Amino acid sequence: MDAVITGIVSLVSAYMTYRGVVATAKAKDDPHPAPPAEAATGERALALVQHAATQGTEDQRQDLINFERNPSRNQDQLRRAVRELMEANPALLTELQALLATAPAAATTNYGAVTIDNSTVNAPVIGVNTGMVNSTSYRDEPR
Protein backbone atom coordinates (compact mmCIF):
# COMPACT_ATOMS: atom_id res chain seq x y z
CA MET A 1 0.00 0.00 0.00
CA ASP A 2 2.86 2.42 0.75
CA ALA A 3 4.15 2.20 -2.84
CA VAL A 4 0.68 3.04 -4.17
CA ILE A 5 0.39 6.01 -1.83
CA THR A 6 3.83 7.30 -2.83
CA GLY A 7 3.02 6.93 -6.53
CA ILE A 8 -0.37 8.63 -6.22
CA VAL A 9 1.02 11.52 -4.16
CA SER A 10 3.79 11.96 -6.75
CA LEU A 11 1.32 11.97 -9.67
CA VAL A 12 -1.14 14.31 -8.00
CA SER A 13 1.64 16.64 -6.85
CA ALA A 14 3.04 16.83 -10.39
CA TYR A 15 -0.43 17.61 -11.71
CA MET A 16 -0.96 20.32 -9.08
CA THR A 17 2.45 21.82 -9.87
CA TYR A 18 1.46 22.00 -13.53
CA ARG A 19 -1.89 23.59 -12.59
CA GLY A 20 0.03 26.24 -10.66
CA VAL A 21 2.33 26.92 -13.63
CA VAL A 22 -0.69 27.31 -15.91
CA ALA A 23 -2.42 29.68 -13.47
CA THR A 24 0.73 31.81 -13.19
CA ALA A 25 1.13 31.92 -16.97
CA LYS A 26 -2.51 32.93 -17.44
CA ALA A 27 -2.17 35.68 -14.85
CA LYS A 28 0.78 37.09 -16.81
CA ASP A 29 -0.88 36.52 -20.20
CA ASP A 30 1.99 34.20 -21.07
CA PRO A 31 1.53 30.97 -22.98
CA HIS A 32 1.60 28.00 -20.66
CA PRO A 33 3.85 25.02 -21.29
CA ALA A 34 2.56 21.71 -22.56
CA PRO A 35 1.49 19.40 -19.74
CA PRO A 36 4.05 16.87 -18.55
CA ALA A 37 3.37 13.23 -19.39
CA GLU A 38 2.05 12.47 -15.92
CA ALA A 39 -0.41 15.41 -15.75
CA ALA A 40 -3.40 13.54 -17.20
CA THR A 41 -2.79 10.55 -14.94
CA GLY A 42 -2.37 12.85 -11.92
CA GLU A 43 -5.63 14.61 -12.78
CA ARG A 44 -7.42 11.24 -12.98
CA ALA A 45 -5.87 10.11 -9.66
CA LEU A 46 -7.01 13.31 -7.97
CA ALA A 47 -10.53 12.82 -9.33
CA LEU A 48 -10.65 9.25 -7.98
CA VAL A 49 -9.47 10.34 -4.54
CA GLN A 50 -11.89 13.28 -4.48
CA HIS A 51 -14.77 10.99 -5.41
CA ALA A 52 -13.82 8.51 -2.68
CA ALA A 53 -13.61 11.38 -0.20
CA THR A 54 -17.27 12.19 -0.77
CA GLN A 55 -17.96 8.95 1.12
CA GLY A 56 -15.18 9.63 3.64
CA THR A 57 -14.94 11.74 6.75
CA GLU A 58 -14.99 15.51 7.03
CA ASP A 59 -11.31 15.36 8.06
CA GLN A 60 -10.41 13.51 4.86
CA ARG A 61 -12.29 16.04 2.74
CA GLN A 62 -10.56 18.88 4.59
CA ASP A 63 -7.16 17.24 4.04
CA LEU A 64 -7.85 17.24 0.29
CA ILE A 65 -8.98 20.87 0.33
CA ASN A 66 -5.81 21.84 2.21
CA PHE A 67 -3.66 19.91 -0.26
CA GLU A 68 -5.27 21.59 -3.25
CA ARG A 69 -4.80 25.00 -1.65
CA ASN A 70 -1.10 24.42 -0.94
CA PRO A 71 0.21 21.12 -2.38
CA SER A 72 3.84 21.40 -1.32
CA ARG A 73 2.93 22.15 2.30
CA ASN A 74 0.16 19.57 2.65
CA GLN A 75 1.51 16.41 1.01
CA ASP A 76 1.44 14.58 4.34
CA GLN A 77 -2.26 15.37 4.67
CA LEU A 78 -2.84 13.94 1.19
CA ARG A 79 -0.87 10.81 2.13
CA ARG A 80 -2.95 10.34 5.26
CA ALA A 81 -6.25 10.87 3.43
CA VAL A 82 -5.32 8.47 0.60
CA ARG A 83 -4.25 5.81 3.12
CA GLU A 84 -7.46 6.12 5.14
CA LEU A 85 -9.65 6.13 2.02
CA MET A 86 -7.94 3.02 0.60
CA GLU A 87 -8.22 1.20 3.94
CA ALA A 88 -11.94 1.97 4.04
CA ASN A 89 -12.49 1.19 0.36
CA PRO A 90 -10.39 -1.67 -1.11
CA ALA A 91 -11.90 -0.95 -4.55
CA LEU A 92 -10.14 2.44 -4.50
CA LEU A 93 -6.83 0.68 -3.85
CA THR A 94 -7.45 -1.56 -6.87
CA GLU A 95 -8.37 1.43 -9.08
CA LEU A 96 -5.31 3.40 -8.02
CA GLN A 97 -3.01 0.40 -8.57
CA ALA A 98 -4.42 0.01 -12.10
CA LEU A 99 -3.96 3.73 -12.74
CA LEU A 100 -0.33 3.57 -11.58
CA ALA A 101 0.29 0.64 -13.91
CA THR A 102 -0.62 2.90 -16.84
CA ALA A 103 1.30 5.94 -15.57
CA PRO A 104 4.23 7.22 -17.63
CA ALA A 105 7.73 6.54 -16.33
CA ALA A 106 8.09 10.20 -15.33
CA ALA A 107 5.58 9.55 -12.57
CA THR A 108 8.34 8.02 -10.47
CA THR A 109 9.92 11.46 -10.19
CA ASN A 110 9.29 13.33 -6.97
CA TYR A 111 9.93 17.00 -6.45
CA GLY A 112 12.25 17.96 -3.66
CA ALA A 113 14.38 20.73 -2.28
CA VAL A 114 18.15 20.65 -2.03
CA THR A 115 20.10 23.26 -0.07
CA ILE A 116 23.47 24.17 -1.55
CA ASP A 117 25.61 26.91 -0.02
CA ASN A 118 22.60 28.27 1.89
CA SER A 119 20.52 28.48 -1.32
CA THR A 120 17.57 26.20 -1.89
CA VAL A 121 17.07 24.55 -5.26
CA ASN A 122 13.71 22.93 -6.04
CA ALA A 123 14.08 20.25 -8.66
CA PRO A 124 12.87 16.83 -9.68
CA VAL A 125 14.55 14.04 -7.76
CA ILE A 126 14.44 10.30 -8.21
CA GLY A 127 13.59 8.11 -5.25
CA VAL A 128 12.61 8.88 -1.74
CA ASN A 129 14.87 9.65 1.20
CA THR A 130 13.26 10.46 4.48
CA GLY A 131 16.55 11.24 6.21
CA MET A 132 19.45 13.63 5.82
CA VAL A 133 22.02 13.24 3.05
CA ASN A 134 25.33 15.02 3.49
CA SER A 135 27.72 15.49 0.63
CA THR A 136 30.75 17.66 0.15
CA SER A 137 32.23 18.63 -3.17
CA TYR A 138 35.32 20.60 -3.90
CA ARG A 139 36.11 22.95 -6.72
CA ASP A 140 39.45 23.01 -8.47
CA GLU A 141 39.64 26.81 -8.41
CA PRO A 142 38.32 29.29 -5.90
CA ARG A 143 35.74 31.72 -7.24
Q: What is the mean pLDDT of residues 20-38?
A: 89
Q: What is the mean pLDDT of residues 45-58?
A: 96
Maximum mean pLDDT: which of 28-32, 78-82, 112-116 = 78-82
**Size (the chain), residues:** 143
Q: Please tell me the distance from the alpha carbon of residue 117 to that of residue 109, in angstroms, as a whole number.
A: 24
In angstroms, the Cα distances linking 19 to 14, 29, 66, 132 are 9, 15, 15, 30
Residue % of the chain over a pLDDT of 70:
73
Nearest to 45 by CA among 3, 82, 12, 1: 12
Phi, psi of 99 (to 5 degrees): -65, -45
pLDDT digits (tens, 9 = 90+) for 118-135: 555 544 444 444 555 555
Q: Give the pTM.
A: 0.70
